[in-house]
């Protein structure tokens, strides 16, 4: 399973239910990575999407503890165990956890690849991604040249769980 996120230098991902910054090239990379694939996200993350609707061109699976929660155009699961059963019919390389903080934390142990956009800035934030640089199970296996969007520098990194 994959995990994909944009983080700042402190591994922050958001504030008040919003992304820290919107970088068009990062959004393009996200679309290219996930189009035609399975995306897993939490209910609160879904609610931040336009009209609270699932992402088009992808199989959306929503994690929610609310047993009555339903979403048109998406599967809803209520536990990690139920999610893992749902994922049995998909190749693991086609599955992406896309957030938010709770989904990232719960699903990281099941992931072997992390696609991280590392933004060279520190933002005020209230949501974070687990710091893979401090986790001895993870290593950077690919990185891009530094890119900029206006005055924001960022790098695309690929982390893989050590075998």
CATH 3.40.50.12280 fits 2-161, yes or no: no
**Model-level pTM?**
0.96
DSSP H helices in the chain: 24-34, 43-47, 80-87, 101-107
Q: What is the pLDDT of residues 77-120, one digit of tens each?
A: 999 999 999 999 999 999 999 999 999 999 999 999 999 999 99
Q: What is the pLDDT of residues 127-144, one digit of tens each?
A: 999 999 999 999 999 999
* Segments making up each domain of the chain, as ranges: 2-161
- How far is 64 from 68, CA to CA, in rounded Å? 9
């Amino acid at each position: 399973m994959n995990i994909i996120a944009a983080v700042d230098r402190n591994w922050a991902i958001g504030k008040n239910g919003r992304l820290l910054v919107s970088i068009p090239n990062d959004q393009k990379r996200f679309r290219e990575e996930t189009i035609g694939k399975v995306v897993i996200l939490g209910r609160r993350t879904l609610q931040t999407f336009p009209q609270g609707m699932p992402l088009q061109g992808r199989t959306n699976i929503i994690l929610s503890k609310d047993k009555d929660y339903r979403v048109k155009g998406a599967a809803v699961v209520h536990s990690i165990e139920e999610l893992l059963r749902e994922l049995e019919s998909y190749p693991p390389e086609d599955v992406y956890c896309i957030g938010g903080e709770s989904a990232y934390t719960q699903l990281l142990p099941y992931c072997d690849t992390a696609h991280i956009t590392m933004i060279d800035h520190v933002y005020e934030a209230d949501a974070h991604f687990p710091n893979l640089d401090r986790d001895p199970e993870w290593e950077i296996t690919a990185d891009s040249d530094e890119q900029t969007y206006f005055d924001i520098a960022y790098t695309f990194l690929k982390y893989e769980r050590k075998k």
